[in-house]
Structure 1
Amino acid sequence: MKDFIAGLPKCELHLHIEGTLEPELKFELAARNGLELPYASVAEMRAAYTFDSLSSFLTIYYEGMKVLRTEPDFYDLATAYLTKAAEQNVRYAEIFFDPQAHTSRGVPFDVVIRGLRRALMDAHARLGVRAQLIMCFLRDFQAEYAMATLLESLPYKEWIAGVGLDSDEKGNPPRKFAAVYERARQEGYLLTMHCDVDQDDAVEHIRQAVEEIGVDRIDHGVNILEDQRLVELVLARGTGLTCCHDLQRLRHRVDEGRGHPQADGPGRAGDDQLRRPGLLRRLRAGEPHRPAGGAAARSRGAGSAPAQRLRDHLAAQAPQGCLSGRDRRLHLVTASPSG
């Protein structure tokens, strides 16, 4: 199973680059920048990577990126991820980055984008991995700050495939950023937006993203299955979803012989429903602040008949995720698995 999964070509369409910062690199960057960390060792830091809600996850997520200060820091961050991605046979990646998490603490926008861009170009030449950037706005900041960030990005828009929206969803609905997204569309950016699982007003937020904002893609969005009208609307428009499989839940369900693995969320949304013809979704290979994983690492361990079901499931997903299509539902941008 390990060799089979390792050999599958993969596309990574839901990856937060700041969330891939591993403890070893974090200590290295802290030393480079003369910073002290609140952990005595890599093991102690790794043990602290526990969370039980979106808000507790975000606390860990933002704390970790304080060591990112210079262009070489961002280059090293992205290079570390892309190197691991290449080792796991990832051919193409769409990478979220959060510029406001850095500009809000005094790191210039161009420092962030130049470091990431240089890493992407080098990885393409050296590793054969093609990757593009999606610039996310932090939804718990003001919409005016998002607009200012959008305007600041325009000199670099040839380096950015699209814009997204992430961070704490509570009290921060999609329509708060309607004007920002309209300007982004006018500037030629493709549009995606996080609608995290089982948040307050989750279905209403998906409706706003689809009907009012008109996004090209929804990240997570599993709660759409609670509203058949929205499902049909997404099918009609060809809007893609990027969904995330939790390995422990997946293994539990497969081990108990319940058929195909379950999509993310606390059990409301079944994988069979998400596989409806035309309702396209992609697996996320790695989770922020679970950086040592990846598709290969997170899909090992099932045995015998359950392993065969998992193998069949993954084999069915691989060609969907890595098609070199002209269909915007597959990716934010057209992607080729070759090279």
Structure 2
Amino acid sequence: MVAQWYAMDISEAQRLWDAAPGWLNTASVGLPPRPAWTALQTALDEWRHGRCDWASWDESTATARAAFAQLIGASPDDITIGSTTSALIGLVAAALPPKARVLAPQTEFTSNLFPWLVQASRGVDVDLVPAGRLAEAVCEAPRTSRQPTVVAFSAVQSATGEVADFDAVVDAARAIGATVVVDATQAVGWLPRRWSRADAVVVSAYKWLMAPRGAAFAYLAPHLRERLTPLAAGWYAGQDPHEAYYGPPLRLATNARRFDVSPAWFCFVGAAPAMELLLDIGVEQVHAHNVGLANRFRAGLGLPAGDSAIVTTAIPDAEARLARAGVRAAVRAGRVRLSFHVYTTEADVDRAVEALT
């Protein structure tokens, strides 16, 4: 087997973060590497003193778009930018035909659930199944009267860390002609997949992509874009944004930029260096590091190995015990959730294990 070459190994990369020991909560908020933090502080200082030229901030938006496209294996022409997952998924939901059906996991995070549920007034139905049965449920659909128009799911479940069988779900949906919409917020940045196999892949960048909150991206396949309306179109959605400041006619970009909203520039100033650093490290290397640490934690608790960078536990008083040890984690669905990323060390993991055992 030929060894994989990376521009930067994990130990070298970790020197670019200033994380205090015990941060095991990337599934809530990712920590910025120093290049992202510095870029953001520079932009803020320019703004503060009136030395700003927003064109440079906009260059960061283009850089971030290109980096996201590379992370998911797509063309920048197929990437639109926004601020939230739900707003980007809402573009697809608004284009559903009347009486469409959506199939989704029962534990789905509501950013990929509410946009479908609010279409109930048009007769849209949402069917929920256990996350682990999603591909099976899609395969069973042709034998029922509830064949889905859309299969919507998180690549990694926020509440549990469960990793979806992405290819199996996509294959099943393709077999019945259903559109596939994936919330990959808890996945892109550490989980390697052929993401562009889906029709829409939406990511909020402030978790595993370690950007400031307010930057989001969506891959929209060309055949899907033909059915969508740019409901929030403004100057930035123009074919040439600088020529779209005033007046008609409507002159939108011909690619996925037609769905852009005017960017919160500072968020993208911080996003671009963080994502470029992930590309330098390599998602495959990040995946091995993150899952390896998650399994070190699981082994410390006597649990079998898993395939996720997120681990949840129902150990009594776990949140308080972790907090006393200086470990910052989250509580989701009644369980403590710990998550492991590039800047996480074995010492962080061992601190958590000691607190819980």
**TM-score between the two structures when normalised by the length of structure 2:** 0.24
Question: Whose relative contact order is higher, 1 or 2, with alpha carbons under 8 Å and at least 6 apart?
Answer: 2
Higher helix share: 1
> Highest Rg: 1 or 2?
2
